[in-house]
């Protein structure tokens, strides 16, 4: 499988580990001498602390072995005696609770829920959590660093203001209505090279610039056109010009 196993720090205070450690200490009469050195002591003076170290180390070694050899059903093809020999602790399997190790028969043991903690899905989940935590840490550091950059909320506020009220370019056409232009540019996302021509065309409508923009927006048009005037008198034929016809007429007038 992978090159690591999950060993939680809370395991040191897990009641199951403490119980197994006490059983080993009682079995071997383990004591802690000065300087943290473990050794044998008289009956009745057993200390569980050396047993905690033994059980924790034995579990780590067992889980490392299982990471390579355990089946998808959490079954390991080893006997309890073989496991005791591999971890170097006689009676190790005997003191473990059923939640961690179950002897199935003379050839196999089961490590319940092993894959839930050390399987590929669990490992991928742990790695994703680590990446998310690192990402949040980097963002927090950038937000409060003194590097001269604006905070994320400040950037969002600038973007919001920019989209609501786009500034006029310095080369704005003479007579251009700023209100009409801002409304039109907010509706149509123009390319930089088209802005000057669009401003000139809008300014040509004079006092009707705002009405022209509102007409195009209301009809979903992509261009600016003369306002529709009142219809003909009753009985006269009605003819409507399309935006394409209006553009063609304007182009023809521009050539003369």
Q: Pick the residue with more confidence: 33 or 183? A: 183
> Nearest CA to 70 among 19, 125, 1, 153?
1
Q: What is the pLDDT of residue 128?
A: 65
The predicted-structure confidence for 62-85, as pLDDT tens digits, reads as follows 999 998 888 889 999 999 999 999
Question: What pTM did the predictor assign?
Answer: 0.43
Q: 151 and 131 in one domain?
A: yes
- Residues of the chain with pLDDT > 70, as a percent, come to 67
Q: Which residues span the domain enclosing 52?
A: 9-118
**Count of domains observed in the chain:** 3
> Nearest CA to 1 among 83, 130, 123?
123
Q: What is the pLDDT of residue 38?
A: 44
> Nearest CA to 56 among 85, 16, 91?
16
Q: 127 and 189 in one domain?
A: no
Q: 83 and 60 in one domain?
A: yes
Res. 195: pLDDT tops 80: yes
């Amino acid at each position: 499988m992978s090159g690591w196993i999950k060993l939680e720090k809370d395991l040191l205070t897990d009641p199951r580990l403490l119980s197994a450690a006490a059983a080993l200490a009682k079995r071997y009469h383990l004591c802690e001498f000065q300087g943290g050195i473990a050794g044998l002591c008289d009956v009745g003076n057993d200390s569980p602390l050396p047993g905690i170290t033994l059980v924790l180390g034995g579990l780590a070694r067992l889980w490392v072995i299982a990471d390579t050899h355990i089946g998808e059903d959490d079954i390991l093809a080893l006997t309890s005696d073989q496991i005791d020999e591999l971890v170097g602790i006689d009676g190790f399997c005997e003191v473990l609770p059923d939640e961690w190790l179950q002897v199935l028969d003379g050839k196999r043991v089961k490590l319940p829920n092993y894959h839930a903690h050390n399987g590929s899905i669990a490992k991928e989940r742990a790695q994703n959590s680590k990446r998310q935590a690192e990402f949040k840490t980097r963002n927090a550091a950038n937000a409060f660093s003194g590097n001269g950059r604006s905070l994320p909320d400040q950037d969002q506020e600038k973007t919001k203001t920019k989209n609501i009220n786009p500034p006029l370019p310095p080369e704005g056409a003479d007579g251009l209505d700023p209100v009409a232009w801002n409304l039109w540019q907010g509706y149509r996302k123009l390319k930089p090279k088209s802005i000057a021509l669009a401003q000139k065309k809008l300014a040509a409508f004079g006092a009707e610039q705002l009405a022209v923009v509102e007409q195009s927006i209301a009809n979903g048009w992509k261009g600016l056109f003369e306002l529709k005037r009142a219809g003909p008198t009753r009985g006269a034929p009605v003819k409507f010009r399309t935006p394409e016809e209006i553009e063609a007429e304007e182009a023809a007038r521009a050539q003369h």
